[in-house]
Amino acid sequence: MADEHEEILGRGVKFWNQWRRKNPRVKADLSFANLEGDSFDGANFRDVNFFQADLSGEASFIGADFRGATFEFTDLLDSYCSKADFRGALFVNANLSELDCELADFREAQIHSCDLLEANFSGADLRGTDFNFSDLSHANFDQADLRGADLTGTKMLETRFTGADLTGAHVYGVTPWEVELDGATQRDLVITPEGQPRVTVDDLELAQFMYLLLDNSSLRRVIDTLTSRVVLLLGRFGPARQDCLDVLQAKIRARDLVPLSVDLGGAKRPDVMETATLLARLARFVIADLTNAPELVQVLEAVVPEVTVPVLPIDSSSRGRRVQFENAWRYPWYFEATRYEDAAHLSKLLAAPWFSRADRKREELRAKRLAADI
């Protein structure tokens, strides 16, 4: 049946549409069809089954009617579907990467576990669309209408929502990284899953954190990991010094702590200052590798006076020279630099007593804070 229907479609869109009008009760089936690179603008594909069909390779479906169609394991890579009607369509494990759906209508469609990498949904009507567990990375939703859309479990890496309307969207379990939200409407985003009291927030990037606040057990684990187990590593850790970074991380992990590394190479100074200060406030202590990183001294000049947390400098360059920022003596939580020659030498130096002095200083500082609060 699928081969027969593909042969009918092969006679052209006009013939296909006439055949559909004359046979309204026939369930059209284009499973496994190869429509790669062809043009089907304005075609009537309503309720068609496209199981494992190939609609890729710049195939054109501009203005086509896909209402109620099924796309399971379908390949729509790099096709054109602008102004197409996908209302109520079902997509499961489909490839929608680089698909151009500008101004298309996806109301109440279900797009489950699909790849939408670099897809274009700008200006699309996505009200009530279900994107559960799909990858929206680098996709463009500029000016799209996502009111009431279900974004549960979606991945959003550098996804664009400029001017989009996300009012009432379900965002439980989303992972937004570097999303663009300029001019977006973010009212009443639902951060709780089905079956739990409905809790809303007006900021997509805050959604995950706000849910952690509600889930006390998760929040306690996060806070405990940050404040009692994270060790911040600052320095220039390029490929040439990867062995030293490996040693540092291994020694930290051996103490059941969590290494958090910030490589200063290529970073802008204001961004480094801000990032280092923020992360230092959350860390158990800081290890600053000054090797070939003169800018790190300036970073420490900004961090150490602001953050009362032990800072342990290490250095394998400029031996014999005191690597210190001005007035460092005023801050007892800033230690003398430990000199090392190479990764093997560093591994020997980072024994338990080396770490213990940071823990002792941490407890001393904590006791002083508690005494000051009494």
What's the pLDDT at 369? Answer: 74
What's the pLDDT at 15? Answer: 97
Q: Is the pLDDT of residue 318 over 60?
A: no
Phi, psi of 14 (to 5 degrees): -60, -45
Tokens matching residue 173: 């379990």
Answer for the pair 124, 143: CB distance below 8 angstroms, yes or no. no
**Domain residue spans in the chain?**
221-373
Exposure b/e, 211-242, CB count within 10 A at least 16 = b:
bbeeeeeeeeeeeeebeebbbbbbbbbeeebe
What lies within 8 Å, CB to CB, of 159 at 6+ separation is 136, 137, 138, 139, 141, 176, 179, 180
User: DSSP 3-state helix, strand, coil percentages of the chain (rounded to 5)?
Assistant: 30, 20, 50
Q: Is the pLDDT of residue 36 over 50?
A: yes
pLDDT digits (tens, 9 = 90+) for 195-240: 777 888 888 988 877 776 666 666 556 665 556 788 899 998 888 8
Q: Starting from the edge strand earliest in sequence, which strands make up the sheet with 70-72, in order?
A: 70-72, 90-92, 110-112
* Banded pLDDT at 321 (limits 50, 70, 90): very low
pLDDT digits (tens, 9 = 90+) for 123-165: 999 999 999 999 999 999 999 999 999 999 999 999 999 999 9
Tokens matching residue 27: 């369930």
pLDDT digits (tens, 9 = 90+) for 175-189: 899 999 999 999 889
Exposure b/e, 339-372, CB count within 10 A at least 16 = b:
bbeebeebbeebeeeebeebeebbeeeeeeeeee
Number of helices (H), then strands (E), belonging to the chain: the values are: 9, 12
The structural architecture, per CATH, of the domain 221-373 is 3-Layer(aba) Sandwich (3.40)
